């Protein structure tokens, strides 16, 4: 959960008790819970509205599918799976020990 472990939660709880006091802390916790619930409901309604607007062909759409990093990663993995290792030749030539690389006058 957000990369927070048990020691961090204990420190956060201790700071919350010190800052807010033990008598006001339950009310703030209830307000935070309501806020998180409203935020989750808002995200779910936005996601369902997006699915409705896009139509039935996007019924299984997830919001993580809209992340460009995920989309690129998915397409790269699919492309790598399609390639056969025997079909791909390395784009370089291997030099023997002591052999000098070729000189290209146009590249320099």
Q: Which two tokens stand for residue 97?
A: 């020990």
Residue 29 in this model has a pLDDT that exceeds 80? yes
- Residue 38 or residue 65, greater confidence: 38
Asked if residues 51 and 59 have their Cβ atoms less than 8 Å apart, the reply is: yes
pLDDT the model gives residue 79: 80
For the segment 69-84, the average pLDDT, to the nearest whole number, is: 80
Q: Could you give the count of Cα atoms lying within 13 Å of 103 in the half-sphere of its Cβ? A: 2
Residue 30 in this model has a pLDDT that exceeds 90? yes
pTM for the full predicted model: 0.48
Q: Which of the residue ranges 33-47, 50-64, 66-80 would you say has the lowest mean pLDDT?
A: 50-64
Q: How many CB atoms lie within 10 A of CB 28?
A: 13
pLDDT the model gives residue 65: 72
Q: Which two tokens stand for residue 95?
A: 């030099």
Asked if residues 58 and 48 have their Cβ atoms less than 8 Å apart, the reply is: no
């Amino acid at each position: 959960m957000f990369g927070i472990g048990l020691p961090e939660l204990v420190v956060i709880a201790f700071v919350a008790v010190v800052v807010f006091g033990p008598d006001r802390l339950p009310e703030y916790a209830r307000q935070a819970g309501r806020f998180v619930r409203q935020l989750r409901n808002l995200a779910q309604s936005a996601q369902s509205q997006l699915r409705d607007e896009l139509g039935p062909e996007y019924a299984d759409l997830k919001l993580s599918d809209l992340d460009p990093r995920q989309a690129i990663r998915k397409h790269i993995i699919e492309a790598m799976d399609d390639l056969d290792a025997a079909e791909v030749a390395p784009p370089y030539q291997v030099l023997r020990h002591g052999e000098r690389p070729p000189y290209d006058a146009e590249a320099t």
